Amino acid sequence: MCLICDRIKMIEEGTNPYFVKELKTGYVVIGDNQHFYGYTLFLYKNHKYTELFQMPKEEREIFLDEMTKVAETVYNAFNAEKINYE
């Protein structure tokens, strides 16, 4: 099991202390390390895909829309100057 799947399993079991919110295609978590204040991850639920182009188009559009909403929320919550995506 990879680290992301392990973290998702913790969310599903209610044991991930960094869990914030479940969306349709993923889970929002605050990063364990806040070296970059506000570091947040949007963990894609269907982790069998490792690239955006592998995802079914309809699901990818929902994921990217949700990712954009997460970014806007983080931007506002942490008063960010810029959001970096990885």
Residues at the interface with Zn ion (CB under 5 A) = 2, 4-5, 47
To the nearest whole angstrom, how small is the minimum distance from the Cβ of residue 5 to Zn ion? 3
For Zn ion, the closer CB: 2 or 76: 2
For Zn ion, the closer CB: 5 or 77: 5
To the nearest whole angstrom, how small is the minimum distance from the Cβ of residue 47 to Zn ion? 4
CA nearest neighbour of 70 among 12, 14, 29? 29
The three-class DSSP label of residue 21 is: strand
The three-class DSSP label of residue 5 is: helix
To the nearest whole angstrom, how small is the minimum distance from the Cβ of residue 44 to Zn ion? 9
For the four alpha carbons of 85, 81, 39 and 19, in that order, the dihedral sign comes to negative
For Zn ion, the closer CB: 22 or 72: 22
Element (H, E) at 44: strand 40-44
